[in-house]
Amino acid sequence: MPPADASVIVLAYRTTANARACIQSILAAETRTSFEIILLLNGVGIAEANRLGTLARTRIIRAPLNLGFSRGNNLAALQSKTEFIVFVNDDARVEDGWLDELLRTARLNPVAGAVGSCILFPDGKLQEAGSVIWSDGTTAPIGRGDQTIDGPAASVQDVDFCSANGLLVRRSTWDAVGGFDPSFYPAYYEDVDLCLAIRHRFGQRVLYEPRSRLRHSEAMSSDYDFRTFLFARNVRRLRQKWSNELHAYPKPQPLASAKAARRQFREAQARILVIDDRPPDAGLGSGFGRFGEFFAQLRDRQ
């Protein structure tokens, strides 16, 4: 059996029902990519772990204690030797072609250290098309709540960061960065920190890929008050670690943050104007078809 191209890493915290459903969606999704799944049972008891049974193409590792998001994913990644590592939350359900599109964009853009997915709410509304980082370390998801995927959310784009849910990281980049920073224990902002390291320490790009899609039931693994506490504590930690770099980011716009993020994102993007007398329709002649292919390549190699 040929070696896998990608390792898909899923963390299960305390219970396994979500992880089983997530892995079943990964196994059922159409893909041409060779992959393996590594499931890290994070603070899952033996009895609960035994309920999982056997899952195809899945290696299971059990950590008796809760290692947190960073250490748990780092431990799972140590078991992987593939060219690409892809992190997926256990409360996510992937769609057909999601993995193919991530690898396609990563291979077309060798200077991209990470490529993130289009994250949807279960009802199909947009949850995140990448995110903007503000100068105080807080973040805002691009396009959150939009009914349709259009504008910046519809094309491959450079973004400040992508959540570690449907996030591909190049193995060489992961090893150079050293994985997720465990100081953000137990969770939140380790993905922001990772993307800042990719961009500022190694000069690589973080890309958003709209054709890789998954649906996510947001924040099922922690209660609201505890989550709010972790966000506040870890954003302070992020500010301390990246204070020099964050000065160059735009000032926060807390009101209607999704709209502000979308506006900031649009203003930051380079634009190319192409003028021709007809649309690039292959039916009009071979030259028009080649021009259409050129547009597709231009979009994917931004």
Average pLDDT over residues 15-26: 96
* Chain center to CA of 62: 24
252 inside domain: yes
282: pLDDT confidence band, cut at 50, 70 and 90? low
Residue 88 has pLDDT above 80, yes or no: yes
| Confidence at residue 253, expressed as pLDDT on a 0 to 100 scale | 81
Residue 258 has pLDDT above 90, yes or no: no
The answer to which of 32-36, 246-250, 280-284 has the lowest mean pLDDT is 280-284
52 inside domain: yes
| Confidence at residue 82, expressed as pLDDT on a 0 to 100 scale | 98
Question: Do 148 and 204 fall within a single domain?
Answer: yes
Q: Kindly tell me the sign of the dihedral angle through the C-alpha atoms of 169, 106, 142, 17.
A: negative
Q: To the nearest whole percent, how much of the chain has pLDDT over 70? A: 83
Average pLDDT over residues 258-277: 57
The domain in which residue 276 lies consists of: 272-302
Average pLDDT over residues 147-156: 89
Among residues 178, 235, 165, 180, the alpha carbon closest in space to that of 67 is found at 180
Query: How far apart (Å, rounded) are the C-alpha atoms in residues 195 and 180?
Result: 10
| Confidence at residue 35, expressed as pLDDT on a 0 to 100 scale | 98
Category of 290 on φ-ψ map: left (φ > 0), alpha (ψ -120 to 50) or beta: alpha
Q: To the nearest whole percent, how much of the chain has pLDDT over 90? A: 76
Give residues with Cβ within 8 angstroms of 28, minimum separation 6.
Answer: none
Q: What is the largest CA-CA distance in the chain?
A: 68
Structure tokens at 102: 């991530």
Question: Do 287 and 218 fall within a single domain?
Answer: no
Give residues with Cβ within 8 angstroms of 233, minimum separation 6.
Answer: none
Q: What is the DSSP letter of 157?
A: E
Q: State which of 42-56, 105-119, 270-284 shows the largest mean pLDDT.
A: 105-119
Mean pLDDT over the full length of the chain: 89
Question: Tokens 């449907």 — which residue?
Answer: 166
The alpha carbon torsion through 175, 21, 148, 155 (nearest 10 deg) reads 30
Amino acid identity for residue 239 in this structure: R
Domain count for the chain? 2
Give residues with Cβ within 8 angstroms of 37, minimum separation 6.
Answer: 7, 8, 9, 10, 23, 26, 27, 55, 57, 58, 59
166 inside domain: yes
Give residues with Cβ within 8 angstroms of 119, minimum separation 6.
Answer: 92, 126, 127, 128, 129, 163, 165, 166, 213, 214, 215, 216
Greater model confidence, 290 or 79: 79
- Judge whether 104 and 114 are in contact, CB under 8 Å: no
Question: Do 124 and 159 fall within a single domain?
Answer: yes
Question: Do 98 and 195 fall within a single domain?
Answer: yes
CATH of the domain at 54: 3.90.550.10
Q: State which of 37-41, 224-228, 249-253 shows the largest mean pLDDT.
A: 37-41
In this prediction the pTM is 0.85
Question: Do 83 and 109 fall within a single domain?
Answer: yes
Question: Do 216 and 289 fall within a single domain?
Answer: no
| Confidence at residue 276, expressed as pLDDT on a 0 to 100 scale | 74
Question: Do 191 and 283 fall within a single domain?
Answer: no
